[in-house]
Amino acid sequence: MTESISEKQAEVSLNAASVKNHPNPTRNEDDTVLAELGYKAEFKREFSMIETIAFAFSIMGVVASVSSTFSFPLVSGGHVGMVWGWLIPCFFVMAVASSMAELVSSMPTSAGLYYFSAKLAPPKYSALASWITGWANITGQVTLCTDDHYGDCVGTTIAAIIALLVCSGDNKVSTKDAFTMFENNTGWSNNGWAFLLAFTAPMWTLTGYDSAAHISEEISGAQRAAPIAILVGVFGTQVLGWLLFIACSFATVSVADLLTGSLPLPMGQLFLNVLGKRGMLAIWGFIIVVQFVTGAAQGVDASRVVFAFARDNALPGSRWWKRINGRTQTPVNAVWLVMAGAAVCGLLGFSAAALSSLAGASVIGLYVSYATPIFLRITSGRDKLVPGTFSLGRWYMPIGIIAVAWVSFIVVLLVFPPSQATTAQGMNYAVVIIMGVFFFASISWVVSAHKWFHGPIKNVDDSTSSVEGKEPEF
C-alpha cells in the first residue's frame, strides 16, 4: 500500500500487455484497473450500466421500506414529519452518496469500503481502519433485509401513490395541512427534538447503495457505471419516496387513527382506510411478494462483501468463503454463509423490538462504514486518491465534511427510542448490537488479528486460483 505511483503504473502496463488481445475491450480495461488495485478478475462482467442502476435502486426498496417505517414520521411530527422529515435528510444523504461515488470510481473493487479505508488511512493504521470498516459493513449487510426488485418496486410505488391520491376522493386534508400540520406523539416535550427523530425513517430506506461498489468486479465499465448507479439510485429513491409520503400526507385524515388502528402497521391501516379491505390486501400482497422474492438482491450484495473480506483472509474460515464456483463464477459458499446469517437474524422477527433493533443496527453499521473512508479521504487521504471518471474536484472537501458530520449526527438519533415512554418491549437495542460487534472486532484485533491481518492482499500475480478445486492455503 506504500507503492509509488510509478510502480503502480508499471504493474498496470505489464497486466495490460498480458490482456491486450482480449476480445472485449471494455472488460480488458476493467480488468487492467482491477489489476492495478491488486486483484485478478474472477467474475463474469455481466452488469451493464442500466442493470447496475436498477440493482442499486431496487436494493433500497422504496415502498416496502416506507411501509415498514411509516410509524416513525407519524409519531415524530405527523404531516410535517412525513413530508419534511423525508426531504431534509435527502440533501445530506446525497453528500454521502457523492463522496462514495468518487471513491468507487477511483477504486472499483468488490472490497469496496474497507479497501478505500485501507488505501486512504495512514500506513500505520491502514490495516486497523480496514478491519473496523469491514466488520461494520458486514454487520450492516447481513442484517439488512429491506430490498425490492426494480420493476416491481417502481410499479408498486407508483401504484400506491396514485391509489392514495385518487381513491381517497374528497376525504383528504388540505394542501396547507398536508405540508404544515405538526403533531408531536413522541412524549418528548421539545417539538424540535421530536421532529428530528422523524429523520430516522428515510435513513432506513436510503441505505445499501454501496451495492454498486460491491458488484463492481461484475460491471462492464465499472469506473463509470458504478458511481452513476449510486447517484441515480439514491436520487430516484429520494424522489419516489417523497412523492409517496406526500400522497400519504394528503390521504391521512387522522394521524391518531393510524397509530391506534386495528392493524399493527400504520401504512396497512392507511391503505385499508382509503382502498378498503380488498384494495389493501391487493397492494399489500404486492409489497410482501416483491420484498420476499427479491431478498436475493441483498444476498448478492452481502455475499460479495463476505467474499472480498475472505479474499483478504479477514474472516474465520476464509479459505471456504473466498472460493469461486468454477461453473457459475460466483462465490456460492459466501452466499450460503450470508443466507445462514440472515436466517438467524430472521428468527428474531418474532420480536418486534428485536427486528426493529436489527434494522437500526444495519443502518448504523452501514453508515459507519460509509463515513470512515470519507473521513479518511478528507484527512489523511487528501493527496492519495487517484481520480476516476467521476470526481468531485475541489468540492470533495466541503461535501466530505457535510457527509461525515451528517453520519455522526444521524447515528446518535438512530440509537434513541422512537418515543419517550419506552418499555423493555419497545426499547431500541440497536446500540447493543453495534457495540457487541465493535467489541468483538476490537478484542479480536488486540488479541490476534493485528498479527495476521494486514489489509487488502494482492493476488494479481498469484499462480493459483480461488476457483473450486484449486483452493489457496489460508
| Predicted confidence (pLDDT) per residue in 27-67, tens digit | 578 889 999 999 988 888 889 999 999 888 888 878 878 88
Answer whether residue 463 is part of any domain.
no
**In the chain, % of residues over pLDDT 90:** 44
* Bigger pLDDT: 175 vs 169: 175
Helix, strand, coil % in the chain, rounded to nearest 5: 70, 0, 30
What's the rounded mean pLDDT across residues 265-283?
86
Give the CATH number for residue 235: 1.20.1740.10
Lowest-confidence region among 90-94, 128-132, 394-398, 469-473: 469-473
Half-sphere exposure of 352 (CA within 13 A, CB side): 9
User: Looking at the 3D structure of the chain, how many domains does it have?
Assistant: 1
Answer whether residue 338 is part of any domain.
yes
Residue-level pLDDT at 1 = 44
Burial (Cβ within 10 Å: 0-12, 13-18, ≥19) of residue 302: buried
Half-sphere exposure of 332 (CA within 13 A, CB side): 8
Nearest alpha-carbon partner for 41 in 26, 31, 51, 28: 31
Taking the C-alpha atoms of residue 210 and residue 298, their distance in angstroms, rounded to an integer, is 11
Residue-level pLDDT at 368 = 94
Lowest-confidence region among 65-69, 381-385, 401-405, 467-471: 467-471
Asked if 63 and 160 count as a contact pair (C-beta separation under 8 A), the reply is: yes
Residue-level pLDDT at 353 = 67
Answer whether residue 102 is part of any domain.
yes
Residue-level pLDDT at 210 = 92
Question: What is the b/e burial string over 84-113, where b = at least 16 CB atoms within 10 angstroms of the residue's CB?
Answer: bbbeebbebbbbbbbbbbbbbbbbbbbbbb
Kindly give, in sequence order, each residue whose CB lies less than 8 Å from that of residue 10, ignoring residues fewer than 6 positions away. none
Helices (H) and strands (E) in the chain, counts: 23, 2
DSSP three-state, residue 217: helix
What's the rounded mean pLDDT across residues 212-230?
93
Taking the C-alpha atoms of residue 314 and residue 135, their distance in angstroms, rounded to an integer, is 9
What's the rounded mean pLDDT across residues 257-264?
85
User: How confident is the prediction for the chain on average, in pLDDT?
Assistant: 83
C-alpha cell at 375: 473521513
Alpha helices (runs of H) in 168-294, residue ranges in sequence order = 175-180, 191-196, 200-205, 211-214, 222-251, 255-259, 266-293
CA-CA-CA-CA torsion sign (462, 467, 473, 474): positive
Taking the C-alpha atoms of residue 313 and residue 135, their distance in angstroms, rounded to an integer, is 13
Answer whether residue 459 is part of any domain.
no
Answer whether residue 243 is part of any domain.
yes
Taking the C-alpha atoms of residue 432 and residue 414, their distance in angstroms, rounded to an integer, is 12
CA distance to 54, 220, 244, per residue, from 289 (Å): 18, 30, 19
Residue-level pLDDT at 169 = 65
C-alpha cell at 162: 396514485
* Long-range CB contacts (within 8 A, 24+) of 341-344: 341/142, 342/142, 342/145, 342/295, 342/299, 342/302
| Element of type H or E holding 178 | helix 175-180
Lowest-confidence region among 75-89, 161-175, 295-309: 161-175
Asked if 440 and 450 count as a contact pair (C-beta separation under 8 A), the reply is: no
Residue-level pLDDT at 167 = 67
| Element of type H or E holding 184 | strand 183-184
Place of cell 471513491: 103
Answer whether residue 27 is part of any domain.
no
Residue-level pLDDT at 424 = 64
Residue-level pLDDT at 27 = 59
Tell me: the pLDDT tens digits for 431-464? Answer: 888 888 889 899 999 998 989 998 998 887 644 4
Taking the C-alpha atoms of residue 384 and residue 209, their distance in angstroms, rounded to an integer, is 24
pLDDT tier for residue 367 given thresholds of 50, 70 and 90: very high
Q: How does strand 76-77 pair with strand 183-184?
A: antiparallel
Answer whether residue 468 is part of any domain.
no
CA distance to 96, 105, 371, 375, 394, per residue, from 401 (Å): 9, 19, 10, 8, 13
| Element of type H or E holding 196 | helix 191-196
Residue-level pLDDT at 341 = 84
Q: Say if residue 239's pLDDT is above 80.
A: yes
Name the residue range of residue 297's domain: 48-452
What's the rounded mean pLDDT across residues 348-367?
76
C-alpha cell at 334: 459466501
Q: Say if residue 152's pLDDT is above 60.
A: no
Asked if 11 and 35 count as a contact pair (C-beta separation under 8 A), the reply is: yes
Answer whether residue 9 is part of any domain.
no
Q: Say if residue 154's pLDDT is above 70.
A: no
Asked if 100 and 370 count as a contact pair (C-beta separation under 8 A), the reply is: yes
